[in-house]
A and B are shown apart, each in its own frame.
Chain A
Amino acid sequence: MSSRKSKSSNLIQADYISQVQRILRERFCHQSPHGNLFGVQVQYKHLIELLKRTAIHGESNSILIIGPRGSGKTMLINHALKELMEIEGVSENILQVHLNGLLQINDKIALKEITRQLNLENVVGDKVFGSFAENLSFLLEALKKGDRTSSCPVIFILDEFDLFAHHKNQTLLYNLLDISQSAQTPVVIIGLTCRLDILELLEKRVKSRFSHRQIHLMNSFSFPQYLKIFKEQLSLPSVFPEEIFAEKWNENVQSLSEDRSVKEVLQKHFNVSKNLRSLHMLLMLALNRVTPSHPFITAADLMEANQLCSMDSKGNIVHGLSVLEICLIIAMKHLNDIYEEEPFNFQMVYNEFQKFVQRKAHSVYNFEKPVVMKEILVRYLGWEDPLQRG
């Protein structure tokens, strides 16, 4: 009787757990604009005001959002756009163009993509007609015809902005920024980049046309804030269907955040990297260990996850090597010491190996040369690193 009860409750719990995992994984993996922003309220305010001025007053602007990878640049802009679109009357009065430097690798492709996304008249279906030059003059003409009060503002979002700066002559950037500095269609150019030296990449006349507004996202939070983020990221939303379970889960999270060993793990992780993406990775690994029989994350899970995260990849490789391979690597290590980083060839390694085998003939089988050759070829890359560790 009681076993059946526990079984059915197990089933129910399994259901909850899969729901929890779905919600949390979505939170960790997608940069959804639904989550909260951490420590970037000032920057957010700056950005949203700027977007509003463009959308409502038709003011042209250009701005760069700069921050290391994983610092939440895209999340910031997504949040801002979401809020902007919720303002009444704005969503149908705004055009958005999203470009990514990794996809639009030259101006020609970028122009086509802009034209397509703006749905100008030379677009039929998904195809953009006309040559590069025609497209450029067409687009410029189109943007030039507008004016501040009557045209629909266009928001250009250039992800990986630094890659656009490598396009020939920076034609695209020049033209976009020129529009933002002249009385044409109102545009706001938002560049996202992780390079701090981005302004030095811009050509002088392009740079002059850029308004020099920059938003820096620096992960400038301290460990207590980090801990709070950790808590919030793991907590279930209040809309979770099974309140009792959610409560229990949240309690557990709360106690985790106060646990000493958990704090240690987090501190260690924080020391290595402050960005939220690596925190997400850690939590993801811990979350994966949750099962119906093990319904809540424990400090051990987190430690395990941290170990996985900080694992040394090359050390792991060495652990899995065969005896012959280990012997060869040791031989190479000797040679390296003897010749002081000078290169050596296979014959030298083989000779070294032979010497070793003769010394300890009883323990290691003397392999033929071709076999050794093969081993070397297979394992050649990355041999050095474990040895360096000594």
Chain B
Amino acid sequence: MAYYSARLRTRQTYSWVGRPLLDQKLHYQTYKEMSMKREGYSTEIHIQVGQFVLIEGDDDENPYVAKLVELFEDDSELYSKKRARVQWFIRFCEVPVCKQHLLGRKPGTQEIFWYDNPTCNSNISVETIIGCVRVVALAPDEVMPIDLKNKKTFFVKLSWNEKKFKPLPPEVFAQLNKLQEDNHRYQKPMQAKTKSAESPSWTTTEHAVKRIESRHSTSKSRHTASHPVTPRARKRLELSSFPRTPNTRISPAASCASLDSPGRMKRKVAFSEVMSPSKRSLPDGFQTSSPALKAPEKTGEIQHSCTKDAKKTSPDHGMILRARAPALKITETSEERTLTPIGGGRKSSVVPSVILKPEYIKRREGKEPEVQDEAPSTSRIRRKSSVLTLNRIRQQLRFLGNSKSDENDEEFLPAAEISDCDSEEEEASTTPLPRRTPNSVSRNLRSSMKSSLQTPSKTPKKTPEPRTPRDATPRIRSRNLTAQGPTNMLEEARLRLHVAAVPESLPCREQEFQDIYNFVESKLLDQTGGCMYISGVPGTGKTATVHEVICCLQQAAQANEVPPFQYIEVNGMKLTEPHQVYVQILQKLTGKRATANHAAALLAKRFCTQGSSQETTVLLVDELDLLWTQKQDVMYNLFDWPTHKEARLVVLTIANTMDLPERIMMNRVSSRLGLTRMCFQPYTHSQLRQILLSRLRHVKAFEDDAIQLVARKVAALSGDARRCLDICRRATEICEFSCQKPDSPGLVTTAHLLEAIDEMFSSSYITAIKNSSVLEQSFLRAILAEFRRSGLEEATFQQVYIQHVALCRMEGLPYPTMSETMAVCSRLGACRLLLVEPSRNDVLRRVRLNVSQDDVLYALKEE
């Protein structure tokens, strides 16, 4: 919904507000406030140091959130001299996907995290600032408010330091809270005069100014109370009173938001006043107004711009003359332009004149955070109401609203006395008989309610969409009967022997582990990228070793020994097609979905362009050979990215063949892969034994000889650790099965193991021949006879049939018909004892043995 389009931002101009303060150390000129002005709209946003801002990022829908720490001008920067220093916050969606689970709960919809990472670049160009936003710090035990509609407010509860989520450090929490409180205090209406004293964050000069101002305003407002309609003189007075207070943001025309938004926590209010022509005796722009805006909670300050007229002396005051205002005003006069903050729960404030320009509103609501600016065309006449009235209103509000409204009131107060009045005025002015009475409050409330009612139609709320398959969560039903644990020694052993049971450490791969660890660690420390190729026959622990390395590195990263990194794993076998690898990487990296081509482009952008400084990414590509394509573009890209300096990508590739790079890769690909290679040798028998012993450390289920036997057998066969474990597992079953007493099965002996090995590896051909029918056996004999006769290893069915008939006659078997023999031949072919041509060749189909002749003879002789 909130979509911060870059296009809209391009037309904004940024300027400093206030006089520069020279920073002695850095020789920068620092500022306390800046203003953003959007072309085409005569509105501007003021942002002060200490406020929370939204900063343009990769994702238009979720701009970065940060707290403004400093504003300064840096001549050394080429493009934008106006710089800002910020303290970042991080959204949940910006947390690397692989680490999101560390939160351990579902993030709140508007939850953000204090980003505790000193290495992160906090120096940004002010031009990337989109607007203000409110951030509320919550104590660890507070419940995350669920306020789906209030997109402009974020909640901070935890900090994130790239490794884990921690509660906010007390000082940070206090700081954030103070900001909020400052706000409140500021706005205490009743204490307008003392306010400044209470606001610690302001400089004394500011305080002074404010005090003066507030005094002025109160006096003024007192004045006005009785003469609502003659604002001019007062205004002038007021204007002149603080022309030179660049940094203050107490706006005489404060927001009336407090009145309007009783139930909301934060809002900015902007208002405009309506001015009826009749009231405007001075159409010369005497009074333009300024929007008041503020993100109260964040900075605690109210921003406002002052109006100005000719008297304005300080150009940098940030006020804007609105020459066009009068005209606009006139057109709008009869309308009700007041604007009201948005109602319940929505954070945006309302902008006057909205009604006239629906599209404006829409746009604005779209970017709620920016809302705090001014009503575009408003020039307003300030009317000040009396303090008395104000008080009365406030009291009423207190009754009406809940405690929050109180806060709101307070928040807005600083500006408030006047602004409240203003709003009332506005209301009043729209009504034929302006009366400033408490009623107007209720009117305000009503209008705010109205606006809240209206808004939904303008910005249709997102209704929960019906569940689409796309959102489906991949999950297998869970069982309601819990799985049983092992009940005896053998079951325990079986559980530990399962390949899936991950041991605490991988024995016998220490050297390989160290090599890979060193490689990745050095790349992490150097912040560079690189490739490594790991080969080895299946079941030699390649993937397991890499997993363990990553695991150790992640622990090291948590302990701050190495820089944090992001780990991604793809498997060529788990892809439907080589190019899908891009999709998978992108999804695991950022959580986004894209088509293969688009994903490739995004990844290339990410890895090959400057400035995308992220943490190092470690990418494990398993079953590399499956990524082979005709053009080899996938492999090329995978190995090319790490060569870019900015990519900081470490690619670990795994495949079975040692010479894969030479065999299937083009030169330009294998050259990029480099020569960092590692080969996992098949396990030797002593290693296999060690593996078994380490898994069975505290379980006495096997005889020592048995373990020795299986280790040697497997080492001689393949050196595949999986085989070894499977055989042992099967042996425990056989042991259990053969044991009479189920309670105390004995140890697994060599006999059991031999049986298991026999079962798994003995060729089934001989048993199959032994168990075949008489006719099948004689057909096999006939084949052998025919081979011997012809001296070839192949014969047609016809030839074999002749032999077969002769054989049957000799053995006294009934005469085999052609159909029967054909069926026999097909059956043997189906089991692959014979290799036969498809049956369409009929009697001419060629037949050969799929077993050695000796085996057949052996099997037939036994009988």
Hey, which bits of chain A sit against chain B, CB under 8 A?
Answer: 45-46, 49, 56-60, 66, 68-69, 89-90, 92-93, 95, 107-108, 118, 120-124, 129-130, 132-133, 136-143, 145-146, 148-154, 169, 171, 174-175, 178, 181-186, 194-197, 204-205, 207-209, 211-214, 216, 218-220, 268, 270-274, 310-315, 382, 384-385, 388-389
Tell me if B495 counts as interface (CB < 8 A to partner A). yes
- Which residue, of B494, B774, B833, has the highest number of chain A Cβ atoms within 10 A? B774
Which of B469, B576, B773, B843 is close to A271, meaning CB atoms less than 8 Å apart? Answer: B773
- Give bound CA distance, A218 to B823, whole Å: 17
Q: Are B775 and A272 in contact (CB under 8 A)?
A: yes
Q: Are A214 and B760 in contact (CB under 8 A)?
A: yes
Q: Are B538 and A136 in contact (CB under 8 A)?
A: no
Q: Which residues of chain B in 75-132 are interfacial with respect to chain A, using CB atoms and an 8 Å cutoff? A: none
Q: Are A93 and B720 in contact (CB under 8 A)?
A: no
In the bound complex, residues from chain A placing their C-beta under 8 Å from that of B281 are: none
Q: How far is the CB of B827 from chain A (nearest CB, A)?
A: 6
Q: Are B819 and A154 in contact (CB under 8 A)?
A: no
- Give bound CA distance, A213 to B772, whole Å: 22
- Give bound CA distance, A139 to B473, whole Å: 10
In the bound complex, residues from chain A placing their C-beta under 8 Å from that of B467 are: 121
Q: Are B813 and A95 in contact (CB under 8 A)?
A: no
In the bound complex, residues from chain B placing their C-beta under 8 Å from that of A274 are: 771-773
Given A169-B573, A385-B843: A69 and B830 within 8 A (CB)?
A: yes
Given A194-B830, A311-B819: A133 and B577 within 8 A (CB)?
A: yes
In the bound complex, residues from chain A placing their C-beta under 8 Å from that of B500 are: 60, 148, 181-184
Q: Are A120 and B472 in contact (CB under 8 A)?
A: yes
Q: How far is the CB of A318 from chain B (nearest CB, A)?
A: 11
Q: Are B499 and A182 in contact (CB under 8 A)?
A: yes
Q: Are B573 and A174 in contact (CB under 8 A)?
A: yes
- Give bound CA distance, A122 to B771, whole Å: 48
Q: Chain B: how many interface residues by the 8 Å CB criterion? A: 82
Which of A121, A204, A220, A310 is close to B537, meaning CB atoms less than 8 Å apart? Answer: A204
Q: Are B475 and A145 in contact (CB under 8 A)?
A: yes
Q: Are B722 and A121 in contact (CB under 8 A)?
A: no
Which of B573, B817, B823, B843 is close to A171, meaning CB atoms less than 8 Å apart? Answer: B573
In the bound complex, residues from chain A placing their C-beta under 8 Å from that of B463 are: none
Q: Which 8 A-B pairs have the closest CB atoms?
A: A121-B472, A208-B538, A142-B474, A129-B469, A58-B483, A141-B474, A312-B817, A218-B771
Q: Are B475 and A389 in contact (CB under 8 A)?
A: no
Given A181-B722, A214-B764, A315-B817: A150 and B833 within 8 A (CB)?
A: no
Q: How far is the CB of A75 from chain B (nearest CB, A)?
A: 17
Tell me if B504 counts as interface (CB < 8 A to partner A). no
A264 to chain B: closest residue by CB: B814
Which of A196, A218, A271 is close to B832, meaning CB atoms less than 8 Å apart? Answer: A196
Q: Are A143 and B476 in contact (CB under 8 A)?
A: yes
Tell me if B484 counts as interface (CB < 8 A to partner A). yes
Q: Are B843 and A384 in contact (CB under 8 A)?
A: yes
Tell me if B486 counts as interface (CB < 8 A to partner A). yes
Q: Are A388 and B843 in contact (CB under 8 A)?
A: yes
In the bound complex, residues from chain A placing their C-beta under 8 Å from that of B473 are: 121
Q: Are A68 and B656 in contact (CB under 8 A)?
A: no
B816 to chain A: closest residue by CB: A272
Q: Are B474 and A138 in contact (CB under 8 A)?
A: yes
Contact digits for B454-497, partner A, Cβ 8 Å, 1 yes 0 no: 00000000000001111011111111111111100001001100
A150 to chain B: closest residue by CB: B478
Q: Are A196 and B474 in contact (CB under 8 A)?
A: no
Q: Are A69 and B771 in contact (CB under 8 A)?
A: no
Q: Which residues of chain B in 697-754 are interfacial with respect to chain A, using CB atoms and an 8 Å cutoff? A: 720, 722-723, 726-727, 729-730, 733, 737
Tell me if B818 counts as interface (CB < 8 A to partner A). yes
B767 to chain A: closest residue by CB: A218
Q: Are A145 and B832 in contact (CB under 8 A)?
A: no
Given A93-B479, A122-B472: 19 more A-B contacts, CB < 8 Å: A46-B733, A46-B737, A56-B484, A121-B469, A122-B469, A124-B469, A129-B468, A133-B576, A138-B472, A148-B483, A151-B477, A195-B830, A196-B768, A204-B656, A209-B538, A212-B760, A270-B773, A271-B774, A311-B817
- A-B contacts, 10 of them at CB < 8 A, read A89-B481, A129-B469, A133-B575, A133-B576, A151-B479, A171-B576, A183-B501, A197-B850, A212-B760, A273-B824
Which of B476, B479, B722, B730 is close to A142, meaning CB atoms less than 8 Å apart? Answer: B476
Tell me if B284 counts as interface (CB < 8 A to partner A). no
Q: Are B474 and A121 in contact (CB under 8 A)?
A: yes
In the bound complex, residues from chain A placing their C-beta under 8 Å from that of B519 are: none
Q: How far is the CB of A355 from chain B (nearest CB, A)?
A: 27
Q: Are A153 and B479 in contact (CB under 8 A)?
A: yes
Which of A175, A208, A271 is close to B573, meaning CB atoms less than 8 Å apart? Answer: A175
Tell me if B798 counts as interface (CB < 8 A to partner A). yes
In the bound complex, residues from chain A placing their C-beta under 8 Å from that of B486 are: 57
- Give bound CA distance, A303 to B501, whole Å: 60
Q: Are A216 and B764 in contact (CB under 8 A)?
A: yes
In the bound complex, residues from chain B placing their C-beta under 8 Å from that of A171 are: 573-576
Which of B470, B767, B831 is close to A195, meaning CB atoms less than 8 Å apart? Answer: B831
Q: Are A66 and B580 in contact (CB under 8 A)?
A: no
Tell me if B155 counts as interface (CB < 8 A to partner A). no
- Give bound CA distance, A145 to B623, whole Å: 22
In the bound complex, residues from chain A placing their C-beta under 8 Å from that of B483 are: 56-58, 148-150, 186
- Give bound CA distance, A56 to B481, whole Å: 8
Q: Are B474 and A145 in contact (CB under 8 A)?
A: yes
Q: Are A57 and B484 in contact (CB under 8 A)?
A: yes
Tell me if B626 counts as interface (CB < 8 A to partner A). yes
- Give bound CA distance, A133 to B573, whole Å: 12
Tell me if B638 counts as interface (CB < 8 A to partner A). no
- Give bound CA distance, A314 to B727, whole Å: 51
Q: Are B476 and A145 in contact (CB under 8 A)?
A: yes
Which of A45, A216, A268 is close to B814, meaning CB atoms less than 8 Å apart? Answer: A268
Q: Which residues of chain B in 548-577 are interfacial with respect to chain A, using CB atoms and an 8 Å cutoff? A: 573-577
Q: How far is the CB of A111 from chain B (nearest CB, A)?
A: 9
Tell me if B198 counts as interface (CB < 8 A to partner A). no
A142 to chain B: closest residue by CB: B474
Q: Are B771 and A92 in contact (CB under 8 A)?
A: no
In the bound complex, residues from chain B placing their C-beta under 8 Å from that of A272 are: 773-775, 816, 820, 823-824
Q: Are B482 and A59 in contact (CB under 8 A)?
A: no
In the bound complex, residues from chain A placing their C-beta under 8 Å from that of B801 are: 388
- Give bound CA distance, A129 to B272, whole Å: 52
Tell me if B525 counts as interface (CB < 8 A to partner A). no
Q: How far is the CB of A22 from chain B (nearest CB, A)?
A: 29
In the bound complex, residues from chain A placing their C-beta under 8 Å from that of B546 are: none
- Give bound CA distance, A38 to B797, whole Å: 33
Q: Are A129 and B479 in contact (CB under 8 A)?
A: no
In the bound complex, residues from chain A placing their C-beta under 8 Å from that of B450 are: none
Q: Are A66 and B656 in contact (CB under 8 A)?
A: no
Q: Are A310 and B820 in contact (CB under 8 A)?
A: yes
B808 to chain A: closest residue by CB: A271
Q: Are A151 and B775 in contact (CB under 8 A)?
A: no
Which of B470, B574, B760 is close to A137, meaning CB atoms less than 8 Å apart? Answer: B574
- Give bound CA distance, A154 to B476, whole Å: 9
Tell me if B787 counts as interface (CB < 8 A to partner A). no
Q: Are B498 and A59 in contact (CB under 8 A)?
A: yes
- Give bound CA distance, A324 to B687, whole Å: 79
Q: Are B827 and A273 in contact (CB under 8 A)?
A: yes
A118 to chain B: closest residue by CB: B476
In the bound complex, residues from chain B placing their C-beta under 8 Å from that of A68 are: 768, 772, 827, 830-831
- Give bound CA distance, A92 to B479, whole Å: 8
In the bound complex, residues from chain A placing their C-beta under 8 Å from that of B476 are: 95, 118, 120, 142-143, 145-146, 151-152, 154, 185
In the bound complex, residues from chain A placing their C-beta under 8 Å from that of B843 are: 384-385, 388
Q: Are B831 and A194 in contact (CB under 8 A)?
A: yes
Q: How far is the CB of B526 from chain A (nearest CB, A)?
A: 33
- Give bound CA distance, A169 to B484, whole Å: 36
Given A140-B574, A142-B475, A268-B814: A273 and B775 within 8 A (CB)?
A: yes
Q: How far is the CB of A74 from chain B (nearest CB, A)?
A: 15
Tell me if B842 counts as interface (CB < 8 A to partner A). yes
In the bound complex, residues from chain B placing their C-beta under 8 Å from that of A136 are: 574-576
A153 to chain B: closest residue by CB: B479
In the bound complex, residues from chain A placing their C-beta under 8 Å from that of B623 are: 205
